[in-house]
Structure 1
Amino acid sequence: MVLVVLALDAADIRHAEEFSCDNILLDNHTKMESVAHRLDHPHTGEAWPSIATGLHPTEHGVTGHGSWDSAALTGLSRVAHKLNISGSIRSAVGDLIKSSTDQEWTLLTVDDPTFLDGEYRAVHNWPGVYRNEALQYIWRLFAQAKDDEISKETFIREAYTEAASKFGWIHEAMSKDVEIAATHIHILDVLGHLYPEDRESYREVYEDVDERVGEVRDTLGEDDELLILSDHGMEVSWVEEDDDYGTHSWRAIASTTLDSPPEHALDVKSWVENNIQAVDTKRTATDLPEEQLRELGYIE
């Protein structure tokens, strides 16, 4: 059995229902309670490590402020965080630093145990846990598009191809001897920020993602299961109670092919541990050409 976990950033349960995304909703779905600390709404850099660890951001310590190349800037960032200076102000200052210096900001990763840990648990990328560069790449493109350094069309193309690469990885990983195959996909978030007042364009994004989830669903083996999670939703102009279009909503989703999905972000880790099956694989030595690898510099 493989438990496939698709972390669909910003998948909003209301939008999935409105757009009839049966594959995203799966057999059983619920509005999942998320977490927030740095901002008034859930934030990608905080929520995903919380989902993976079962810990609040104040416990695992990855609260979205990241680390700068400069130790001094990192220290000032920590001070600003402790003083509770608003996230929007810190973000604006960070944008100014990046635009006027050669400093780079890096999202931190947790030290605490996660449900993604283990030799037979395959993860492609997961914000705050493993390989943050994919998320930082798409964020960087978004900033370039916002500043007219690249065209809107280029950004949309890159957002779709980046998402497609994650779905392709899932298809390959789930065919191997693993307990978990998990990846984070950011397209609903970045294009949600682009289309908060364009219902039909956002519908097209949901329909594309739903079709790709359907392809994963169709590939599941007889004993395989699928879990879909999001960290938050997206406020939009056509939802009456939304008033800050393009910001994150509290309408996260959890859906699954199993009986009942987790109802809170901090419950996901225990839910996963209760629903996986260990891989029955005998370890065998790999006969590698050691001398040749040493000559090529792969090993010392």
Structure 2
Amino acid sequence: MTVVVLGIDALDPELVDPEAHPNLTLAAHRSIETIDSAAGEPSTHELWPTIITGLRPKDHGLTLKNDGVAWGNPLLESASMLADYLLPDTVQARIGAWLLTNTGADAFRTPATYYAENNIKTLFDGQEATAIGIPNYVVDPDSEDREHNLRRSLGDLFERDPDTTGGHSSADPYEFYEQCLEMVMVRIARARRAVRSGRHELVFAYTSGLDLIGHVTYDLSTLQRSAYDELDEFVGDLRKDLDDGDVLLLVSDHGLQKGVHTHEAMVAGTNKEMIAGIDSVLDIRAVIEAELRAQDHMKDSEKRSFTEAGGTEVKKHLEDLGYM
């Protein structure tokens, strides 16, 4: 039995339709509360650590500055220290955007070791688990998967632009859309392989493609609708790999409409009780862990039943042979 969690950045509860998107709404779905950053809107940088720890950003320590840029990378952090003394906030934000677009700096690459080093528990602790692409939980900081490489290679297809509504612009939104969908497919394919391996109690994969599309194509509504339709098909393929006892949970950190993060996140799942227990991004870790404990209990019960049944069968066989 496996709990499969698919983190879909910016999956918006107001943009899914149970009839059109049965694989994005599953047996139950709902909007949940999220948390705003210091910049005034929910932040991917802060929220995925919150989702895997159950802690508010101020408690897990991976937070944005008021300028909306995550300065955890040493290059950015040094620039921030100077900027705090020399530059107004608006100029700091523009410099941060330029650095993130034009250098190798990456705001989402905090290693997984950060949590143990700071005595922070995550839902992966003590589990046979695999974490695929989760922002600020990087299992192997020295390697990058195909989605990460695709994102780095977007170039002028995805540039930070503080003057636009979505904060980003693209030289070719349609080509950008295709690359983002490829990013989604890569991560879901990795999740499917992990599920099929049968080696994990917990498979947690993340993809950013829907969020990127929403930031750039907000004035091309057909593209955003198409993204939801195609994502529904991809998740449907993932569902085909699940066994009867497996559980699928979809999680977002915020919604996204008209190019801007909204103040609602979303969950959907094959287990209605799990969905009923999640009111906020702060609840997700506890609900997943409760399901994992329940599945452990079921496995123990199955083992006991098998042993008891096997013992009775052996005893009867010995009696038939005249040894008992």
Q: 1:220 Cα deviation (Å)?
A: 1.3
Q: 1:206 aligns with which of 228, 235, 239?
A: 228
- Are 1:252 and 2:265 counterparts? yes
Deviations 1:100-145 (A, max 9, x none): 7x56344335512211334511111101112575676565455632
Task: Answer yes or no: is the 8 Å Cα contact 1:193–1:247 preserved in 2.
Answer: yes
Higher normalized helix content (fraction of residues) = 2
* Distance in 1 (alpha carbons) for counterparts of 2:80 and 2:43: 17
Q: 1:68 Cα deviation (Å)?
A: 3.4
The 3 A distance-change label for structure 1 pair 161 and 66 is: same
* Distance in 2 (alpha carbons) for counterparts of 1:226 and 1:53: 19
* Distance in 2 (alpha carbons) for counterparts of 1:210 and 1:79: 46
Work out the number of aligned pairs and report it.
265
Aligned pairs for 1:6-21 within 5 A? 6-17=6-17, 20-21=20-21
- Are 1:3 and 2:8 counterparts? no
* Distance in 1 (alpha carbons) for counterparts of 2:19 and 2:218: 15
Q: How well do the aligned residues superpose, as a CA RMSD in angstroms? A: 2.9
* Stretches of structure 2 lacking an aligned partner (at least 5 in a row): 65-69, 160-168, 301-324
Amino acid at match of 2:125: D
Task: Answer yes or no: is the 8 Å Cα contact 1:36–1:46 preserved in 2.
Answer: no
- Are 1:156 and 2:164 counterparts? no
Q: 1:78 Cα deviation (Å)?
A: 6.2
TM-score, normalised by the number of residues in structure 1? 0.78
Task: Answer yes or no: is the 8 Å Cα contact 2:29–2:269 preserved in 1.
Answer: yes
Task: Answer yes or no: is the 8 Å Cα contact 1:19–1:206 preserved in 2.
Answer: no
Amino acid at match of 1:201: L
Q: Computing the radius of gyration over CA atoms, which structure comes out larger, 1 or 2? A: 2
Correspondence for 1:263:
279
* Stretches of structure 1 lacking an aligned partner (at least 5 in a row): 237-245, 281-300
TM-score, normalised by the number of residues in structure 2? 0.72
Aligned pairs for 1:1-300 within 5 A? 1-17=1-17, 20-64=20-64, 65-70=70-75, 73-75=76-78, 77=80, 90-97=92-99, 104-107=105-108, 108-109=110-111, 110-111=114-115, 112-118=120-126, 120-130=128-138, 137=149, 140-141=152-153, 144-147=156-159, 151-175=172-196, 176-236=198-258, 246-260=259-273, 261=275, 262-276=278-292, 277-278=295-296
The 3 A distance-change label for structure 1 pair 211 and 96 is: closer
Amino acid at match of 2:60: H
Task: Answer yes or no: is the 8 Å Cα contact 2:34–2:253 preserved in 1.
Answer: yes
The 3 A distance-change label for structure 1 pair 149 and 254 is: closer
Aligned residues with identical type, % of pairs: 25
The 3 A distance-change label for structure 1 pair 216 and 138 is: same
Deviations 1:254-288 (A, max 9, x none): 111112311210111110110013488xxxxxxxx
